[in-house]
Amino acid sequence: MANNKVKFGLSNVHIAKITEENGEIKYGTPFTMPGAVSLTADAEGDTTPFYADNIKYYVAVANNGYTGDLQIAMTPEEFLTEILGQEKDENGALIEKSDDVNARFALMGEIEGDVKKRRFVYFDCTAARPSAEMNTVEESKEPQTDTISITMAARSTDNAIKAVIEPNETNQEVYNTFFTKVYEKNATETV
């Protein structure tokens, strides 16, 4: 991945719902989250120095994943129902209740580089309800967005937090099918 010097842009955001039975994690078919504006992922975890011999003898580093925000034009109904647990009634109204049960999910997407596009996946995420901004129309119409706070944690089965892939001569098929299923370590196009 050393070819890119810079990264920019965000597109192809996908979500794959997690189900877990008997400690085994399974991912649903990824669905799109159109209208992605930005994604922040701030590293979580502490460094703890241990002093001996009058120096920093050892430094322990905890990797607790990331927290961040996905800013999106409008939160898709599929995310509201499948991930946030909202219910759609007979009239098509989405009902949010105080006891809705959120589902875990994988978050996938693509960023551009000066040479190659990179695709990424965060394997085990949880989301808060989206915050929304609504304003009156003044001299010009300014689109408003939703912001979804997301926690990206280590997957319980193998401690994997994220993966990033760029296309090359040997992984083109895996790269091409990246958004059809959640990437797993050493995946092949037939897995």
Q: Are 105 and 122 in contact (CB under 8 A)?
A: no
- Per-residue confidence (pLDDT) for residue 4, from 0 to 100: 79
Beta bridge partners of 99: none
| Structural domain boundaries in the chain | 7-176
- Per-residue confidence (pLDDT) for residue 191, from 0 to 100: 44
- Per-residue confidence (pLDDT) for residue 113, from 0 to 100: 85
Q: Name residues whose C-beta falls within 8 Å of residue 153's C-beta, 6 or more positions apart in sequence.
A: 64, 65, 124, 125, 126, 161
- Per-residue confidence (pLDDT) for residue 89, from 0 to 100: 96
Q: Are 51 and 26 in contact (CB under 8 A)?
A: no
Strands (E), 22-161: 24-27, 31-32, 36-39, 42-43, 47-52, 55-61, 66-72, 87-88, 94-95, 105-113, 118-127, 131-132, 146-153
- Per-residue confidence (pLDDT) for residue 2, from 0 to 100: 58
> How far apart are the C-alpha atoms of 73 and 94, rounded to whole Å?
18
Q: What are phi and psi of 176, to 5 degrees?
A: -65, -30
The tens-digit pLDDT sequence of the chain (191 residues) is 557 788 889 999 999 999 999 989 999 999 999 999 999 999 999 999 999 999 999 999 999 999 999 999 999 999 999 999 999 999 999 999 999 999 999 999 999 988 899 999 999 999 999 998 788 888 888 889 999 999 999 999 999 999 999 998 899 999 999 999 999 988 776 54
> The whole model's pTM is what?
0.89
> How far apart are the C-alpha atoms of 25 and 109, rounded to whole Å?
20
